[in-house]
Structure 1
Amino acid sequence: MANKPLTLLPTGYKSSCSVTASNHTQREKICTENMGETLGDRIGLSDEVINAAASLAMKAHDCTGKPFLRKKGLPVTVFAFAGSWLPDDWCAQPPFGETKMDTSNFPSLKSLGDDGVALVNGSFPPAIQCHPIITCQKGEKSNWREEASCFHRLLVGCSGGHPGNSIPLGEVRAQSEPTPLRHFRIPLVGDRIFGHAVRREKWSDHFIHFVMRYDLIPRIMLGPSSTEHKQILDFFNPGSESFRKHTDSSLGLYSSVMRNASMVANYDACNFMGCKIPALETLRNFIELSPYRPFGTYIFFSGSGKPWSQEEDAEAAKQWSQEEDAEAAKKGLNEHLAYQLKKLQSLGKQNVVYLDHLEELPVSSDGSPATVNTTLNDLGLSTQAMLCLQATGELEKRKSRNQDKIINDYKQKIEGELRKLSKYKEKAETCGLGYYDSFKLQEKEDDFQANVSRLVLAGYWDEMMEMLKAYELPDEFEKSHDFILLGTDYRRTVEPLDIANFYRHAKDEETGFYVKKGTRPKRYRYIQNWLEHAEKKPSGSRSESCFWAEVEDLRIKTRSNGSSPEIKQKVQQLGQNLIKWIDDESLGKDVLLENSTFVKWWKPLPPEYKSEPESSRIMKLIH
């Protein structure tokens, strides 16, 4: 090949040298046949735009008088932000400075299952306040487009606040699409939940990271904050006496970052493979690993010359001299300032190698196709690094198998059991009792069979929830329209039976109210979160499947302290919710059968417990 190949690694690449984006890959094999395809063709950005972004980034990097620079006259507008040279702007609280994301402005940046909030570098979000053109107004309502756009602006703010980052902002597209952004050398900003949320929302393609092979700065957050950080920042600060002057701190920072990157990669690889190595677990108790994980698509520029760890085994790698380490450390800083040079200026003439099917990568480059062989050699991946890559690939394979199992097996079985319960519900309604009360009494054979279906379905959904909790399903699974509908049908059909069983056995006397945290089965909370997230509704707004739990709880409370204004308000709210849920067909009219638990309790209540016009409508609907 006349030109050195670029390497476009999918999200999921992890090595002992560096960690790239998260664990998601879509293509089926190692693609080497499209060597004529340029990088610009692949990512949808022209050479002109990429070069303009890189060039403007370096100008902003050396410009201390303006917070940002802007370039017009291209298909996109390019903004480049001046760097920050203050250690606190990188890590305010050692060792890693992580803090919980503000979900009031960014409700999507969390785990939908357990509501775990993404962690981000605490120094980054405040940086957005320094850039008025991208400030997201607090308190504005967050529909999908607004949140996605504001989220992108936040990343512009936090990435642009550090050396050499530039972001081309594309023209606004259709209402359903956020403006596409591309970043150069964005630091790691969030944890595993952060990356998971970005992939789930399908925002990853908007973040394309260009990284030189030796550039240390994109990996710097993998190591803890240290005294070397200040000296390194002085290296990039045009106003410092140490500007572009290498010191011993370069070697110290390089060694720390690479050592910690290796530990993170190996620890994650073991988890991906389901291996629990006692030594690593023990080490984890003494050494705090970086919480940050990459996201988006990383484009690595493969270099020439001797790689970092080209030796065949770890022992050989340890034999590197201190001089060689020092040289690599210098190169790691110098390359951070080299993005506007020939590497980017000749993108249109370079070829691209896509390493997608990671589990099929060879442990060594021997015997692999020539282009892959060259790329692996140029990246300098050690055997240990290749094993980490393979572990990521195997995880993706396992995720795909699990999803296929759910789609091809569980889905049909779940639908079959739900059909049985639907017939049970219809039969109970014709008897004038309703299936909640019928199930609670457990007087007939049909009630027993319904309980069997309830338990079978719980097994399927609990297994799925465990897969999600362990990140063993694709990140976008929770956004699947088919499974949101199936889960909602399951929750509305089966949770009333769980509630009936709960109060039939008087479990409330032991554990308290059904809906309180720790009592309600997690599978229902997970599935409810899916629907609320898909509809952009507040948490708890889709609680119609808990209607009977509210009824049972208020029945008890109106007997014991019914005169309480708080209880009266809750009863009125229940009536309002009942009408709303019946109108949108999320709750069946069988709850208003004359002999139902609800009607027997609600009708005798004094007028002050009932609000109009809901009360009148309820009376008309009772049958």
Structure 2
Amino acid sequence: MTIPNSMDADEASPFETSEMLATFLASTPLLSESWKLCSLANTAAPWSFVTERIGSVVYVAFSGVQMAGGSDASWWSPVALDSIGDVALFSSRRNIEGGEPAMVYAGMLNLFQSLFHSLQNQMFAIIKSTDAKSIVITGHSLGGAIASLSTIWFLSCLRSISSAISVLCITFGSPLLGNKSLSQAILKERWGGNFCHVVSNHDIMPRMLFAPLQPPLTAHLNFLLQFWHLSMASLELRRVAVQISEPDIADLFSFVVACLGAAAKPDGEGSSQISFHPFGSYVFASEKGAVCVDSATTVIQMMHFMFAPSSPACSIDDHLKYGDYVNHLSLQAFKRNCEQANISDSSYEAGLELALKSSGVPSQGSVAMPIKECLRMARRMGRSPSLKHASLAVTLSKFVPYRAEIEWYKSLCDQADDQLGYYDSFKRRGSSRRGMKINMNRLKLARFWNNVIDMMESNQLPYDFDRSRKWVNSSQFYKLLVEPLDIAEYYRKGMHRTKGHYIQHGRERRYEIFDRWWKDRTPSAAEGNHVRSTFASLTQDTCFWARVEEARDWLDSVRSEIDISKEAHLWDNIEKFENYAAQLIENKEVSKDVLAKNSSYSVWVEELRELREMKAKVQNFPYQFTRFVNGGVVP
């Protein structure tokens, strides 16, 4: 039970994720039952939650009436959201080095944790139930934020158990929960379709936290929280209780509108200035219908364009009208809209007109064109990553011949009479045309994969791109095949003498990223308990030859080292590598070129054997001769 993602939509159905999806959602009992239970939680279970089973669906609703400390500055401090209890929330690691962790407001996390023990018992009881197939976690206002946190935790729990229960989170008028990293983490886990946030045109609460937490907003946060406390009271009682004047309300409204306007710049630059970001699907509801979008940029722009014409009094009162909006959303209303809409010859323009009508915005007003452009942009943005992903697969196929030529070159090297092997043949290559061509192929493949990483980190590819088995396997094969050539070129040019050894000072960032992709993958059944009967076609440690080069350096140094402690340290490093290499060979995790007679590794093994024999012979020599052998000088 998830909301379809626009990236998977058919190009022939441009409004599957706006007008049609919102109408489909309204045609189910999900919205009406969720709101009914939210209303019950607000009145019968303040500061807590209620549950109800309807057939095979279990509803869990959190009250919007919560005790929150607005005067405490720590309430509004962002905190990292890595785990809850003993459950790690996100399995995917950040691919951008130094990226900000997923964060939420401390106060919202504290509210959730205050209910965590009873919620945990309730959810585990539902899992054990044999007739529960779906869970809808819902909440109004602050209860919506708690519902989102509960859903993140519950989805994380379901990863470690074999359960077929589907999960959907529906919030009404919920404030923003987390930063951009949280939004991206949810998309990477493929959980975006598990969240549906219902927002009315004029409700200030979902938009409040687009504003930065600094004056003048800080002075109004107490009002915000007191409003949440009294969310079931009448508008007049709320104003008296919180003792806030009409000018103060107008100032708050104007400040939020200005911040939304800055965040909703058409070029998308404004969204980078806001602390917290939307995630999941957003249903924008009006008295005329609803539209649903799932692009964060479009959500921010729709938040602004629909809210700007509102009045302060209408905006505050609208927070309690979600029951009315839910009642208006029905399949029959959609059919009437279709009959009454001014349908043009273009199905695309017809979809725009229906979406605009359902948003409750006059088609001829000043706001109509910006909202139409938002919906056009949502279509382009929603499909762009998928289309680029598809075109990238075509581009990859064009680079396959370069990779095949390198494989052919490796085969020739492994069979050559000089018995140097793949690594040493490339390292010692002269000015042959074959060597030059392979080097050009190496550089072309490097540019391709660097471009893939740049596209991924600039959000031009789907968020779960790095979990696609095809791309994880392709990047791993590329790394196994080509990184030995990069190492050979590094030492061939003597770069280790000026920069230091390869692993610490010369390894390209793309290989470190591919290491993480491979580590974070879900292994296939064929990989489990696999014992090799023959040597691998490619050495499984792509830095093996860099380790050989370091071991050669240690061996050269130990011959002339006169400091006993430094000599002992060098021997310790040599023996550790010797054991490591022996284990790889025993497990047949190296290619046969490693054991070629004249390879760098075979030469190193022979030199190590000779040095040990020499040391054994000189142990019985007089002290003065031993000093000569160890590189010492007679005083």
TM-score (norm 2): 0.69
Residue of structure 1 aligned with 2:594, choices 574, 591, 595: 591
Match of 2:572 in 1: 568
* TM superposition shift of 1:532: 1.7
Residues 1:512 and 2:500 are matched in the alignment: yes
Q: How does 1:528-547 map to 2 (within 5 A)?
A: 528-535=515-522, 544-547=541-544
Residues 1:416 and 2:401 are matched in the alignment: yes
Distance 1:254 1:26, change over 3 A: farther
Residues of 1 paired with 2:142 and 2:580: CA distance? 47
The higher-RCO structure (CA 8 Å, 6+ apart) is 1
* TM superposition shift of 1:239: 9.9
Residues of 1 paired with 2:518 and 2:571: CA distance? 28
Residue of structure 1 aligned with 2:276, choices 292, 298, 309: 292
Match of 1:190 in 2: 178
* TM superposition shift of 1:417: 0.9
Residues 1:374 and 2:362 are matched in the alignment: no
RMSD: 4.9
Distance 1:98 1:302, change over 3 A: same
Distance 1:450 1:392, change over 3 A: same
Residue of structure 2 aligned with 1:477, choices 445, 459, 465: 465
Q: Does the Cα contact within 8 Å between 1:80 and 1:166 map onto a contact in 2?
A: no
The residue type equivalent to 1:84 in the other structure is Q
Distance 1:438 1:204, change over 3 A: same
Residues 1:524 and 2:511 are matched in the alignment: yes
Task: Give SS of 2:461's match.
Answer: coil
Task: Give SS of 2:88's match.
Answer: coil
Residues of 1 paired with 2:71 and 2:546: CA distance? 49
Residues 1:84 and 2:87 are matched in the alignment: no
Residues 1:256 and 2:258 are matched in the alignment: no
Residues of 1 paired with 2:388 and 2:19: CA distance? 35
Residues of 2 paired with 1:456 and 1:417: CA distance? 8
The structure richer in helix per residue is: 2
The residue type equivalent to 1:598 in the other structure is Y
Match of 1:28 in 2: 11
Match of 1:58 in 2: 39
The residue type equivalent to 1:58 in the other structure is S
Distance 1:59 1:377, change over 3 A: closer
Point out the structure with max Rg over C-alpha.
2
Task: Give SS of 1:77's match.
Answer: strand
Task: Give SS of 2:273's match.
Answer: coil
* TM superposition shift of 1:128: 4.0
Residues 1:383 and 2:369 are matched in the alignment: yes
The residue type equivalent to 1:548 in the other structure is W
Q: Does the Cα contact within 8 Å between 2:148 and 2:195 map onto a contact in 1?
A: no
Distance 1:326 1:433, change over 3 A: closer
Distance 1:53 1:271, change over 3 A: closer
Residues of 1 paired with 2:465 and 2:224: CA distance? 42
* TM superposition shift of 1:255: 2.3
Residues of 2 paired with 1:199 and 1:383: CA distance? 30
Q: Does the Cα contact within 8 Å between 1:57 and 1:81 map onto a contact in 2?
A: yes
Residue of structure 1 aligned with 2:238, choices 231, 244, 261: 244
Task: Give SS of 1:340's match.
Answer: helix
Residues of 1 paired with 2:18 and 2:141: CA distance? 35
Residues 1:235 and 2:216 are matched in the alignment: no
Match of 1:276 in 2: none
Task: Give SS of 2:542's match.
Answer: helix
Match of 2:82 in 1: 102
TM-score (norm 1): 0.70
Distance 1:564 1:166, change over 3 A: closer
* TM superposition shift of 1:303: 2.9
Residues of 2 paired with 1:327 and 1:182: CA distance? 28
Residues of 2 paired with 1:526 and 1:156: CA distance? 39
Residues of 2 paired with 1:114 and 1:301: CA distance? 39
Q: Does the Cα contact within 8 Å between 1:60 and 1:80 map onto a contact in 2?
A: yes
Match of 1:212 in 2: 200
* TM superposition shift of 1:271: 4.3
Distance 1:264 1:87, change over 3 A: farther
* TM superposition shift of 1:578: 6.8
Distance 1:33 1:595, change over 3 A: closer
Residues of 1 paired with 2:165 and 2:373: CA distance? 36
Residues of 2 paired with 1:451 and 1:515: CA distance? 20
Task: Give SS of 2:264's match.
Answer: helix
Distance 1:78 1:178, change over 3 A: closer
* TM superposition shift of 1:559: 4.5
Distance 1:465 1:81, change over 3 A: same
Q: Does the Cα contact within 8 Å between 1:191 and 1:291 map onto a contact in 2?
A: yes
Task: Give SS of 1:244's match.
Answer: helix
Match of 1:331 in 2: 314
The residue type equivalent to 1:28 in the other structure is E
Residue of structure 1 aligned with 2:552, choices 552, 555, 572: 555
Residues of 1 paired with 2:551 and 2:192: CA distance? 46
Residues of 1 paired with 2:556 and 2:150: CA distance? 63
* TM superposition shift of 1:420: 0.5
* TM superposition shift of 1:440: 1.1
Q: Does the Cα contact within 8 Å between 1:135 and 1:153 map onto a contact in 2?
A: no
Q: Does the Cα contact within 8 Å between 2:102 and 2:179 map onto a contact in 1?
A: yes
Distance 1:9 1:108, change over 3 A: closer
* TM superposition shift of 1:172: 7.5
Q: Does the Cα contact within 8 Å between 1:39 and 1:348 map onto a contact in 2?
A: no
Match of 1:487 in 2: 475
My pick for the range that moved more, 196-205 or 382-391, is 382-391
Match of 1:143 in 2: none
The residue type equivalent to 2:361 in the other structure is D
User: What per-residue deviation string (whole Å, max 9, x for no partner) do you get for residues 476-534 of structure 1?
Assistant: 32222222211111111011111111122222233233233x74222222222222222
Q: Does the Cα contact within 8 Å between 2:139 and 2:146 map onto a contact in 1?
A: no
